[in-house]
Amino acid sequence: MTAALVQQHNGHVRYSRSTRSLRHVTGGISNEPVKSRGAAAPQTPLPPALAGTESMTVFLLGLAVLLGASRAADTVVPAQLGPPPLGFSSSVRSVCKPMPSTLSLCHGIGYRHMRVPNLLGHDSLREAQQQSVAWLPLVSKLCHRDTKKFLCSLFAPVCLPELSGPVSPCRSLCEAVRDGCVPVMSAFGFPWPEMFNCTRFPRGTELCIPATGEQEGRTAEEVKHEEALKGSVICDACSLAAEGETDIQENFCHSPYAFKMRLGSVSTVGGDRQLVPTARSRILRYRYYFVLFYRAILVRIWKDCVTGLSREERAYQYVLTTATPGDPDSILDAFDVWCNKVEFISNIGPKKGKILDRMLMEQGPLTVLELGAHCGYSTVRIARALPLGARLYSVEMDQRNAAIAEKIVRLAGFDDDTVELIVNPSDEVIPRLRSDYGLDRLDFVFMDHWKKSYCPDLQMLEGSGLLGKGSMIVADNVLFPGAPKFLRHIRKSGLYEWKIHRATLEYSKGIRDGMAELVYQGIK
């Protein structure tokens, strides 16, 4: 971008405080001064990150709280060289700074220096990074190809030496992203945020960041492929790419169901392949899953009705009457007997538990985060393997389960100095670990909560700056029930050395499962 793109703006410009989001800022700049009135930048945290369709509701609820916190504040100031800062007033002089590696939202954006304060009023790199983390899942929604460009133009505005302030996004860019993402948000009953009101952005006749052209940045082959697929969305599981013999064998071993079928016909409908099986098709590998369904679902429903207690409360009563207080090994053994012989509970279990024990012994972590305490089994298992002076922060969102976990942990002999139980959803706790709990680094993270939360929670941890080189993350049940988005992320991110420890599902036979072991390397 050259000085030819810059023009002097005379007179005065009215502007006010506001907030913003991100995506890619390549694709050119056009000219126009900004004359806008906007809402004040909220000081509340941005909404919790969403990783899949399931977590969009949580994201939008947080967004509603965020919108309710905005306020107006208009100021009149002299115009500067280039476009004035959009929608915020700050006593901090605008400066160029290297974009931090922890600003995951703008990785690969195409430039390395950004303006601080940014267009949302964040006065420091740390504040911009922390607030941007929550918008990572919106980019992953792929509701528009310029979502990242739009958000990055606000959170991390490009630094041009010819200008004394940040460059705002064009109104056309805002409107294109808005039109693409509004249907996704509207499905959950929420409108486009007022803080992204497109009328406050320049129309495109003056300096601003425009939308990507229809065919810009894509090869002729990509355009042709997209045209062929119009009207048809093909999911990853349906793609025939890389379907070699090894892939077929792995899919057979890791999937809960497998079908053996003789095809009657194969046709193409709207770009999709339609397979019609014959009557001789049959289902394979279902016996172990029926046993699991019986033990985990049917028995639980029946005993809930008969006893009036939850499954976790029944397990606690058994442990209380059979285990030795103050002996973690005795408590874990009692849990294993209950889960093997009486009722199924999805603890990590003894087989995978030994793998976890070994990793803890080798790592010797001083600060550990557990996501998903459930009824306290893994909490006790982790706490007994920690070195002297280490501290475990265990997160559980269900209050009843957290109460049982608290009793189990204290029964095992661990006090508040060793184990601190946090009762809240993980996506609310992670952003507050630094401010509320004084953590600067996490040495070890164990994930065994909702599998759909693995990916967004990992992304939040990456953006929080709490993961340092060598930090270890262990995630259970990545093959069954499975966490495909989590596995896809660690493969593509390049941030980890990782491997899968293959095993069977806890307290079950014949159901393949595994634990993911990740060692954080940072951005290379």
Catalytic option among 32, 370, 396, 448: 448
Q: Which of 15-29, 248-262, 288-302, 356-370 has the highest mean pLDDT?
A: 356-370
Contact assessment for residue 216 and residue 27, using Cβ atoms and an 8 Å cutoff: yes
Phi and psi of 515, rounded to 5°? -115, 140
CA distance 365 to 2: 50
- Annotated active-site residue 448? The verdict is yes
pLDDT on residue 520: 96
What is d(CA 161, CA 167) in angstroms, rounded to the nearest whole number? 12
User: Can you give the pLDDT at residue 63?
Assistant: 44
Q: Against a cut of 0.75, is the pTM above it? A: no
- Pairwise CA distance, residues 365 & 379, whole Å: 14
- Give CA torsion, residues 361, 362, 364, 367, to 10 deg: -100
Together in a domain, 418 and 356: yes
Residue type (1 letter), 199: T
End-of-domain residue from the set 208, 226, 243:
208
Same domain, 144 and 23: yes
Q: Would 150 be classed as within a structural domain?
A: yes
**Residue that wins the pLDDT comparison between 169 and 43:** 169
- Does residue 483 sit within a domain? yes
**Is residue 516 located within the same domain as residue 438?**
yes
| Domain match, 159 and 71 both | yes
pLDDT tens digits, one per residue of 394-410: 999 999 999 999 999 99
- Alpha-carbon dihedral 346, 349, 351, 355, rounded to 10 degrees: 100
What's the confidence (pLDDT) of residue 144? Answer: 86
**Active-site residue 226, yes or no?**
no
Same domain flag for 129 and 8: yes
pLDDT band at 11 (very low <50, low <70, confident <90, very high): very low
The single residue of 476, 485, 513, 517 carrying the catalytic annotation is: 476
Count other C-beta atoms under 10 Å from residue 315's C-beta. 24
Task: Confirm whether 413 is domain-assigned.
Answer: yes
Question: In whole angstroms, what is the distance from residue 504 CA to residue 524 CA?
Answer: 34
User: Do 275 and 391 sit in the same domain of this protein?
Assistant: no
Domain finish residue from 208, 240, 271: 208
> Is position 439 within any domain?
yes
- Domains of the chain: total: 3
CA 515 to chain centre: 19
384 and 277 in a single domain? The answer is no
- pLDDT (tens digit per residue) in 346-396: 999 999 999 999 999 999 999 999 999 999 999 999 999 999 999 999 999
**Domain identity same for 139 and 265:** no
Q: Is residue 48 part of a domain?
A: yes
| Residues 271 and 387 both lie in one domain | no
- The residue from 149, 451, 452, 485 that is catalytic is 451
DSSP H helical ranges for 259-310:
287-293, 299-307
Percent pLDDT > 70 in the chain is 69
Q: Give 79-110 pLDDT, tens digit per residue.
A: 333 344 444 445 568 899 999 888 888 988 88
Least confident segment among 69-78, 111-120, 262-271, 445-454: 69-78
Number of H helices and E strands in the chain, helices first, is 18, 17
Task: Please report, for the domain that includes residue 51, its CATH number.
Answer: 1.10.2000.10
Span 237-255, average pLDDT: 51
Same domain? For 203 and 265 the reply is no
CATH number of the structural domain spanning residue 444: 3.40.50.150
505 and 366 share one domain: yes
**228, part of any domain:** no
Give me the percent of the chain exceeding a pLDDT of 90. 43
**Residue from 396, 506, 513, 517 carrying the catalytic annotation:** 506
CA atoms within 13 A on the CB side of 283: 9
Q: Give me the catalytic one of 31, 118, 347, 477.
A: 477
pLDDT at 132: 84
> What is the arithmetic mean of pLDDT over 296-315?
90
pLDDT grade, residue 412 (50/70/90)? very high
Same domain? 494 vs 399? yes
Among this protein's residues, is 469 annotated catalytic?
A: no
Confidence of residue 126 (pLDDT cuts 50, 70, 90): confident
Asked whether residue 328 is domain-assigned, the answer is no
Locate the DSSP E strands across 126-243: 207-208
Element spanning 471, H or E: strand 467-475
Q: Show the domain range for 272.
A: 253-281
* CA max distance for the chain: 82
Please say if 506 is a catalytic residue: yes
Q: Is the residue at 307 inside a domain?
A: no
> Quick check: 460 and 484 in contact, CB under 8 A?
no
